[in-house]
Structure 1
Amino acid sequence: MSRRCAGRSTSTSPSFRERPLEGSYPYLWLDAKHVKVRSGAHVRSKALVIAYAVHETGVREVIGLDLGEIGSEAFWVEFLRSLRARGLQGVRLAVSDQHEGLKHAIERVLACPWQRCTVHFVRNMHQHCRPSQRGLVAAALRELFQAESGAQARERMGQVIERLEPTVGKVCRLLEEAEEDLLAFYAFPPAHWPKLRSTNPLERVNREIGRRSDVVGIFPNDASVIRLAGALLIEQNDEWLVCRRYLSAESMALLDAANGRDDETENNEREEVMELNAA
């Protein structure tokens, strides 16, 4: 176990949600779940937002948790800025499902590429084709996400669209629009691709939060949501910190080579973009 892991258990932290974030976090996953919360005489649907990240050492962490109104761009901007205020830096790629306003918020606050979850995209495409066509569509999309390189994936994109256009035209149009966001993970080391192209690595803890939320049904207040989710996430975070690295140190060292640039240059460019967005 690394010294960093041994010294950073968060179970006794006075403020898990507000702890400083040290070092760089090249990969960030964002997830939002809708929960029902009582507010006076009304019941409102709110967004429980969770941020997971991989530290530069290859260790996975839960780095953020918040609750707010349904996730508009303003909501996501505020959440991402709170992470930056605590020290989040060096994000090379943000991974999530498609949430309203999130892509623009990532661009404004983090100035990094966005990877749209490929698993959720395939599920969404199933809604635009007949049940008998779903197997064919899923197999064709897998060809794109399991290519040997980004160049090969883009070449296959044209072939897949040409093949599917006669039968599922809407799927093809949506695929063309999402191409850049679906294939963003190919710019990073191949050893990381299976974990970057979707939010599936987080499904186990997300399912448990969802299961317990379903048991509660309607939460009495915001604090009760944070307590339930926070307890589960602190436990998960401690488990991640003491287990083997999520991504090996050797593969993390390939990040700069894969991107063809150094951290100082990249951080300077990000600062310039964020200054322009804030202007």
Structure 2
Amino acid sequence: MRDAAVLSAIGIGPDERRRVLGVSVALSEAEVHWRGFLDDLVARGMRGVEFIVSDDHAGLRAARRAVLGAATWQRCQFHLAANAVHHAPNIAIRERIGAELRSIWNAPTLAKAQVALDELVAGYRDTAPSLATWLENAVPEGLAVFTLPEHHRRRLRTSNLIERAVQQELKRRTVKVRVFPNDQALLRLVSAVLVEIDETWASDNKAYIKWECRNG
């Protein structure tokens, strides 16, 4: 018996609907497995990827750069906030850092977000220097969403879509089985779950994102 990693990806296509792009069962989330997964998506016809949202997992980061390096990457703001809490040196900062980051992410423009970030970093430079350095290096990776039209930012600034709609459902369904006899059995179950999710999304008459919407 051993642990296994379930790798999955979803996307939003030209038809403005969410779709499941693929799923795989691997030994771990190491770069070699993520890269094989992404290579397979490309081999099966995935094209035109312009914007990627994910957390900062080292294996996924390296694989994404190798296979989809031309796409803009948005680091999930939800995970960034969670990471910031771990870098905060005391309870007082941990309790307020989330709100401070939201003030940056809710800025109307990239320029104003950058000003707010600079002020936040400066405010912690003396009292929490390690946190200040982390904020300065990590938070800009969560600002790529400002390159998108304002209408699209709320949907694409976190990876909550795959976390809530896919990963939570996979966890709920797999925990009931607890132990799978082999990888193929696990893959059959998670594939069936994702087919259900994909069919629900495909039949939804409401667009998830309206691509024609632009600022102004």
TM-score by length of 1: 0.71
Once residues 138 and 165 of structure 1 are traced to their aligned partners in structure 2, the CA distance between those partners, rounded to angstroms, is: 18
**Letter paired with 2:92:** S
1:117 partnered with 2:76: yes
1:106 partnered with 2:64: yes
Partner of 2:87: 128
When the two structures are aligned, how many residues end up with a matched partner?
Answer: 211
Give the Å deviation of 1:165: 3.0
Partner of 2:132: 172
**Letter paired with 1:120:** H
Once residues 155 and 102 of structure 1 are traced to their aligned partners in structure 2, the CA distance between those partners, rounded to angstroms, is: 30
Q: Is the 8 A contact 1:107 1:113 kept in 2?
A: no
Of 159, 166, 177, the match for 1:216: 177
Give the Å deviation of 1:205: 3.0
SS of 1:245's partner is coil
Once residues 138 and 85 of structure 1 are traced to their aligned partners in structure 2, the CA distance between those partners, rounded to angstroms, is: 40
Once residues 194 and 170 of structure 1 are traced to their aligned partners in structure 2, the CA distance between those partners, rounded to angstroms, is: 29
**Letter paired with 1:195:** R
1:62-100 deviation line (CA, Å, top 9, x unaligned):
011001121122221111111111111111111111212
1:85-123 deviation line (CA, Å, top 9, x unaligned):
111111111111121222222121112121111101111
Give the Å deviation of 1:218: 2.4
1:144-202 deviation line (CA, Å, top 9, x unaligned):
21110111111111011112333433322222222332111111111111111101123
Partner of 1:69: 27
1:233 partnered with 2:194: yes
Of 124, 134, 152, the match for 2:112: 152
Once residues 139 and 84 of structure 2 are traced to their aligned partners in structure 1, the CA distance between those partners, rounded to angstroms, is: 14
The farther-off stretch of 157-166 and 89-98 is 157-166
Q: Which has the higher strand share?
A: 1
Q: Is the 8 A contact 1:128 1:168 kept in 2?
A: no
**Letter paired with 1:153:** A
SS of 2:152's partner is helix
What is the root-mean-square deviation of aligned Cα atoms in Å? 1.7
Give the Å deviation of 1:249: 4.2
Of 51, 71, 78, the match for 2:9: 51
Of 145, 149, 155, the match for 1:185: 145
Once residues 45 and 142 of structure 1 are traced to their aligned partners in structure 2, the CA distance between those partners, rounded to angstroms, is: 36
Once residues 190 and 38 of structure 2 are traced to their aligned partners in structure 1, the CA distance between those partners, rounded to angstroms, is: 19
> Where in structure 2 are the equivalents of 1:78-97 lying within 5 Å?
78-97=36-55
Once residues 117 and 80 of structure 2 are traced to their aligned partners in structure 1, the CA distance between those partners, rounded to angstroms, is: 15
Once residues 49 and 144 of structure 1 are traced to their aligned partners in structure 2, the CA distance between those partners, rounded to angstroms, is: 31
Q: Structure 1: where are the runs of 5+ without partners?
A: 1-42, 258-279
Q: Is the 8 A contact 1:77 1:106 kept in 2?
A: yes
Q: Is the 8 A contact 2:80 2:139 kept in 1?
A: no
Give the Å deviation of 1:55: 0.1
